[in-house]
Amino acid sequence: MDPFSQRAQEMGLDVTNAFKGMYSYQDSFGQVVYRQMMTGSVANQQDQDHPTDGIDLPYLAVFVRAQDETDFSYSGYVSNMYKFVGNEALTSPIKESILGTGTPIVRENSLFYDGFARLRHEIIIQSSVTAPSVGDVLPVMIISNSYNGTRAATLSFGLATMSNSVNYVTFAFKLGEMRMVHIESSSTTMTSAVNEYVETFRNHIADMIQQSLGKQLTEEEMLATLDLVEGIGKRRREIISESLPSTVTAWGMFLAIVKYSSFEANLNVKRMLENIAESVLVIPARMYEVLNRLQESD
List pLDDT tens digits, range 44-54: 555 555 455 67
Beta bridge partners of 216: 249
pTM above 0.95, yes or no: no
* CA 124 to each of CA 102, 196, 251, 285: distance values in angstroms, whole numbers, following the listed order: 14, 16, 21, 24
List pLDDT tens digits, range 85-119: 999 999 998 998 888 888 899 999 999 988 899 99
| Domain range list for the chain | 4-79, 85-208, 216-281
Query: DSSP of 159-180, one letter per residue?
Result: EEEESSSS-EEEEE-STT-EEH
Helix (H, G, I), strand (E, B) or coil at 268: helix
pLDDT category at 289 given cuts 50, 70, 90 is very high
100-110 in b/e form (b: 16+ CB < 10 A) is ebeeeebbeeb
Q: Is residue 274 a contact partner of residue 266, using CB atoms and an 8 Å limit? A: no
Q: What is the identity of the amino acid at 68?
A: D
Q: Residue 274: name the closest of 159, 174, 142 by CA.
A: 174
Residue 138 has pLDDT above 80, yes or no: yes
